[in-house]
Structure 1
Amino acid sequence: MTTHDPLTLVFGALADPTRRAILSRLAQGPASVGELAAPHAMSLAGVSKHIKVLETAGLISRRKDAQFYYCRLTADPLKDLQGWLDAYRRFWDDNLDQFEAYLADLQKGDPDSKQ
């Protein structure tokens, strides 16, 4: 089943450590496919498949210059991901704040705290 949901595509692209490494490299600036392939023990065709997944997710763009393809990070989908994660961050922050208050009450020996 193929999905076109942007968030699903981004999560799928980020699920692989090679693709995350490629994104980390591109955060430093554009790079050729050969430069992106260099630190990985795989063929150019293998790296190209990873690049295609990142491109489909909208995380990178490619352009051809003479005989080489250059990739550039496109961070907009990461903003959408950040928005999704922020809702869960608020949830965890609220729960951790409540837990912290509960532990503080226990340490004080507060008789009103539930045990």
Structure 2
Amino acid sequence: MPCRCGAHWCWVCRGVFEMTTIYAHLRTAHGGLNLTEGGTAATLWGRVTGAERAQGTWQQPGGLEDQRRVREAQERRRNLEERERLAEAHRKRQRELAEQATRRQAQKDDRWCAIM
């Protein structure tokens, strides 16, 4: 479903996607684009909304609860991307240090320590 801001959100998992990736997401993650295709989306949607309706907590899409969920999902995605970026930088630095230690050991020079 498109938003006025241009973002598209998945009506099944409520994830936020670019216009170019939403349809691929629906097909791969939920088995299809709509309920008539009989994928996992139909089962999930019926189960979630049925439970929410039974509890009297169901809201129309785009309500305050959905906005909160979208913000939280975006924040989780940003945090994950930041952690992945930091982990990759750490792995790169570890590779550089290992290569540097190997080069220094290969020099067989007394001035260099394997640790330094």
TM-score, normalized by the shorter chain, greater than 0.5: no
TM-score (ref. length: structure 1): 0.36
TM-score (ref. length: structure 2): 0.36
Q: Which has the higher contact order (CA 8 A, sep 6+)?
A: 1
Higher normalized strand content (fraction of residues): 1
Higher gyration radius (CA): 2
